[in-house]
Amino acid sequence: MKRTRTYVVLGVAFLLNSSLFVSNGWAIERDVLSFVTRKDRGRSIQLINTQGEFLQTLMVEGPIAHFTWSPDGRSIAYSSNRNGDPDIYVMDVKTDTHRRLTFDDGRDWWPSWSPNGKWIAFASNRAGEIDLYRMDANGENVKRLTNQGDCKEPAWSPDSQRIAFISKSALFVMTAEGKGVRRLADTFSTGCAWSPDGKEIAFVPRGDAVGGKALFSINRDGKNMRQLTQLYKGLVAIFEPTWSPSGKWIAYLLVQPPEKLLEGQVVLAEEFFANSVICIANTADRGGGEPIEATRRLVASLKWAPEGFLSVSPSAEKQTTLWSKLKQSEKYSKTKK
């Protein structure tokens, strides 16, 4: 009887320890965001925790436009115009090797890696209008998915069965084969992101009440719009939502265009996005949303880093440093609560 009790105690201790290990480790995905930096003209990807501590820099043969992580965290696909027209490239994070995937004369943007690892969706004007395409992760078997033009910012559902995208100021969803295109809501070309459970899609709605100033989600059937963030006041706008793997958090770029835009002046993109900063909100209660000041004026394109990245971090030394900083930041966030 006593031996049984000992085993039970040991078992419970083991389970507790396992969950602690998970909660203390990389699985706290909200701790790590990745973004293309503006300061070196898009030639590096920065990893930061939610306190704004810079954890690691991945140098790339940029300039990079948009980027997407492979689900295992081993690779990054990105769009770059370093050889002329923008094309899609893949970087092996561990070996720092780069491979070009698209070679057409058109421009290829917004790569999005399917969660099952098989495909990369992207936008291209290779046939004239900007439409969405899909290719195998090695660049083969390119398939055109849309024919309506002005299609951008593809985002895969977690089960890799559907793709959400922006076209003509509206949010659409379709199957991975480009079938069943369905219009869900009015939006802008400011990005969209699936919730990890595949039920909702985050986007920035159009409209007199909230245009550009709050993130909402909508079910993939077009029902149940839900406000995810606070409604910001003042001269700010939301871009590039990215949903954390746990579903608890959503990060986005809060942009404050210069006032001279309202004074009738033309503002170049550099200046339009100059005063932008990453914010993170709790999707359950719209809490948070405060800016991570360390990222102000730095961010061009934003994604959560996948949980698998730590295991392929480029060097043991960097890995140790990264691990250590993550542990520190976790302690910090616990004491903050």
- State the minimum distance, in angstroms, from the CB of residue 297 to another protein: 15
* Least separation in angstroms between CB 207 and another protein: 8
Considering only CA atoms, which of 144, 198, 187 is closest in space to residue 165? 187
Tokens 């985002």 belong to residue: 155
Half-sphere exposure for 208 (CA within 13 Å, toward CB): 0
User: What's the rounded Cα separation, in Å, for the pair 269 and 234?
Assistant: 20
Looking at beta carbons only, is 211 or 308 nearer to another protein? 211
The bridge status of strand 237-243 relative to strand 64-69 is unpaired
**CB closer to another protein, 84 vs 128:** 84
Nearer to another protein, 65 or 193 (CB): 65
301/109 Cα distance (integer angstroms): 12
What's the one-letter identity of residue 3? Answer: R
* Residue number with CB closer to another protein (164 or 255): 255
DSSP 81: -
Residue with Cβ nearer another protein (11 or 207): 207
Contact 281, 231 (CB under 8 A): no
* Closest CB 148 distance from another protein, rounded Å: 16
CB of 337 to another protein, least distance (A): 32
CA dist 194 and 244 (Å) reads: 10
Nearer to another protein, 63 or 247 (CB): 63
Closest approach of Cβ 290 to another protein, in Å?
Answer: 20
Strands 97-100 and 299-304: unpaired
Which residue, among 171, 137, 139, has the nearest Cα to 155 in the 3D structure? 171
The site for another protein (CB under 8 A) is made up of 42, 63, 65, 79, 81, 84, 86, 109, 169, 188-190, 206-213, 233-235, 237, 239, 257, 259, 261-270, 272-273, 300
Q: What is the DSSP string of 320-337?
A: HHHHHHHHHHHHHHHHH-
Q: How far is the CB of 318 from another protein (least distance, A)?
A: 28
Cβ distance to another protein smaller for residue 84 or 180:
84
> What is the CA angle 291-29-108, rounded to 5?
80
Q: How far is the CB of 85 from another protein (least distance, A)?
A: 8
Nearest Cα to 144, choosing from 101, 108, 169? 108
The answer to whether the CB of 309 falls within 8 A of the CB of 318 is no
Least distance between another protein and beta carbon 105 (Å):
13
- Exposed/middle/buried for residue 43 (C-beta within 10 Å: 0-12, 13-18, 19+): middle
Comparison of 269 and 316: residue with beta carbon closer to another protein:
269
Nearer to another protein, 79 or 114 (CB): 79
Q: Residue 150 Cβ, how far from another protein at the closest point, in Å?
A: 9
Q: From 190, 238, 170, 183, select the one nearest 210 (Cα to Cα).
A: 238
